[in-house]
Structure 1
Amino acid sequence: MDFLMSGLAACGACLFTNPLEVVKTRMQLQGELQAPGSYQRHYRNVFHAFITIGKVDGLAALQKGLAPALLYQFLMNGIRLGTYGLAEAKGYLHSADGTHSPIRSAAAGALAGVLGAYLGSPIYMVKTHLQAQAASEIAVGHQYKHQGMFQALTEIGQKHGLVGLWRGAVGGLPRVIAGSSAQLCTFSSTKDLITQWEIFPPQSWKVALAAAMVSGIVVVLAMTPFDVVSTRLYNQPTDTQGKGLMYRGVLDALLQTARTEGIFGMYKGIGASYFRLGPHTILSLFFWDQLRFLYSTYTK
């Protein structure tokens, strides 16, 4: 049941934040491996990107990739938050004296995130492809011509087999390790501190909301460079064998991006990431915490 509640909580958050994921993906691919100032900036900032996409691609384009995004969130966060929740319920995240252990929490969050992200990697890759697709006048990055999630998965599977479906999976793991460990560790630690300091009444929904808000800020700072690299690894063109033509792996992508675009290139789309990851983290963790509370209350 914990896995189901975790997946549903993440899907609920995704419905509201997917347009920001579209904007983030486009901004991370803009000017890929090009020196600053040497390319046309179709998207100057988050708000300009929203207006541009809505005007050129249509308002519906702001929800591109929604189907794979929902499926990925259900799979990834169902496994991630569900596994973490079980570890927390069993007391594995507490020290011998009963206090919360940030180290154990970070390790459990990272391991749970890796498991969920790896299993959901094919869905995330297709989501990235669909969200990057745009009209030629505002297109950035490599343009795939998928007609939908199932068509894309079928086509990739037929051309490149299971290896092709999991292309970029390893490259996406550092993103999840950084984000998941920071998110869950910060959320649990902050929640414990707020409870100890008695800032809000016991069992108040405000405790979970405040902890999730703090967690959202930490996640964006820790995750963005790896998120940029992950997006590019998934979206890069491939040869007939399904091998990426631009990057050999995570380290190569990090080095190439830093060398050609500078340190700020590693934080492209951080505004969109903040506006997306912040609310998504807050909503998903808040929904997750409240669903678990309601379930435990009505099953006593």
Structure 2
Amino acid sequence: MDTNKLIEFGLGGLAACGAGVFTNPLEVVKTRMQLQGELQAIGKYTVHYRNSFHAFYIIGKTDGLLALQKGLVPAIYYQFFMNGFRLGTYQGLINAGLTQDANGKVSFVRSVMAGAFAGCVGAFFGSPFYMVKTHLQARSAHSIAVGTQHDHDSMLKGFRCVYSTGGFLGLWRGVSAAILRVTVGSASQLSTFSTAKAYIVHLQVFPAESWLNAFAAAIMSGFVVTACMTPFDVVSTRMYNQKTDAYGKGHIYKNVLQCFVKTFRTEGLWGFYKGWAPSLMRLAPHTVLSLVFWDRLRDAYRRFQQHHPIEL
């Protein structure tokens, strides 16, 4: 891999890490709400978290304020590896001209395909970190516990625990759901961002080099990705968090399709949109922050290269 590609991966990862620090508390709330009432009909389970704001209050009161940053370490690693590979791959496809049509303009269809492929790559490399992050964020005091509760309380202990039961491949348990989740999210996010930014620049709403072009495009992208990705996000969270046997096999769901079917039969269509509000509250600012950081970091790197070219 050449130097520019490595730098693209690094810039994408750093941008997502910066966003992840700010949005991790919303990820904790989202995870708890997605696991609440798992495979139970409405009215048949205790509601610990009535809404996003109530969840913040209850978690802070019962588990302590620091609990709102549970899973931050694996979350940062996940953001770096997943988005490093995802954004780096996507930018590589852009640089190769694979997202443009015959006239050299940004093609929405090609951007969707490029974003989906980049999402697959990122999801695979980030999957182990996302699984442990989910375990840590779901872990809580017994009085407000939802979903399977795992014993480990750190990233390294989580990896050791998963490895001891499922072996090396066990670290990628649930990756199929993650690939679906990130593929849908990445395709909708990156294609919307690229297309919207190109359109906004064309309209000359802001100066061509202004960060406001990226900011406006990222806001549009945040709403689109939340609507498209939430059902897959719910399934992914549940697949990762379920209890496993001595061989690493899931006790509740054998595969992604069964998770979709079981959720729909017991919780209805709304079951796929549990945690919708915190997802939007998290994804919108996370999308804005990560894409704006990414855009600005790449712009800063281009400026640096103009004055201090790196030759290898």
Short-chain TM bin? over 0.9
Matched, 1:238 2:227: no
Give runs of aligned pairs for residues 43-82 of structure 1, distance below 5 A. Answer: 43-82=49-88
Code of the residue aligned with 1:21 in structure 2: it is: E
Residue pair 2:244, 2:251 contacting (<8 A) in 1 also: yes
1:16 Cα deviation after fit = 0.2
Could you tell me how far apart the structure 1 residues matched to 2:16 and 2:23 are? Answer: 10
Does 1:35 find its partner at 2:36?
no
Pair 1:257-2:263 in alignment:
yes
Q: What's the offset of the Cα at 1:154?
A: 1.4
Matched with 1:271 is: 277
Q: Distance in 1 between matches of 2:149 and 2:156?
A: 18
Deviates more, 1:42-51 or 1:111-120: 111-120
C-alpha separation in 1, matches of 2:50 and 2:139: 18
Tell me by how many angstroms 1:68 deviates: 0.1
The residue aligned with 1:141 is 147
The DSSP-based 3-state class of the residue aligned with 1:120 is: helix
Q: Whole-Å Cα distance in 2 between the matches of residues 165 and 88 of structure 1?
A: 31
Q: 1:1-300 to 2 correspondence within 5 Å?
A: 1-300=7-306
Instruction: Give distance in 1, aligned partners of 2:161 and 2:244.
Output: 13
SS of 1:299's partner is: helix
Residue 188 of structure 1 deviates from its aligned partner by: 0.2
Name the aligned partner's letter for residue 198 of structure 2: D
Q: TM-score, normalised by structure 2?
A: 0.95
Corresponding residue pairs, total: 300
Aligned mates of 2:158, 2:304 — CA distance in 1: 42
Deviation of the 1:90 alpha carbon: 2.2
Q: What SS does the corresponding residue of 1:252 show, helix, strand or coil?
A: helix
Q: Shift of residue 161 of structure 1?
A: 0.5
Q: Matched residues in 1 for 2:15 and 2:202: separation?
A: 26
The answer to whether the Cα contact below 8 Å between 2:78 and 2:130 also exists between their aligned partners in 1 is: yes
**C-alpha deviations, 1:14-56, integer Å up to 9, x for none?**
0000000000000000000000011110000000000000000
Quote the sequence identity (%). Answer: 57
Amino acid at match of 1:214: M
Are 2:165 and 2:245, in contact at CA under 8 Å, matched by a contact in 1? Answer: no
TM normalised by structure 1 equals 0.99
1:297 shift after superposition:
1.3
The residue type equivalent to 1:71 in the other structure is: Y
Letter in 2 for 1:157: Y
Secondary structure, counterpart of 1:292 in structure 2: helix
The alpha-carbon deviation at position 89 of structure 1 amounts to 1.9
For structure 1, list consecutive stretches of 5 or more residues without a partner in the other structure. Answer: none
2:13 aligns to what SS in structure 1? helix
How far the C-alpha of 1:158 sits from its partner, in A, is 2.3
- The 10-residue stretch of structure 1 (237-246 or 151-160) with the greater mean CA deviation from structure 2: 151-160
Q: Secondary structure at the residue paired with 2:46?
A: coil
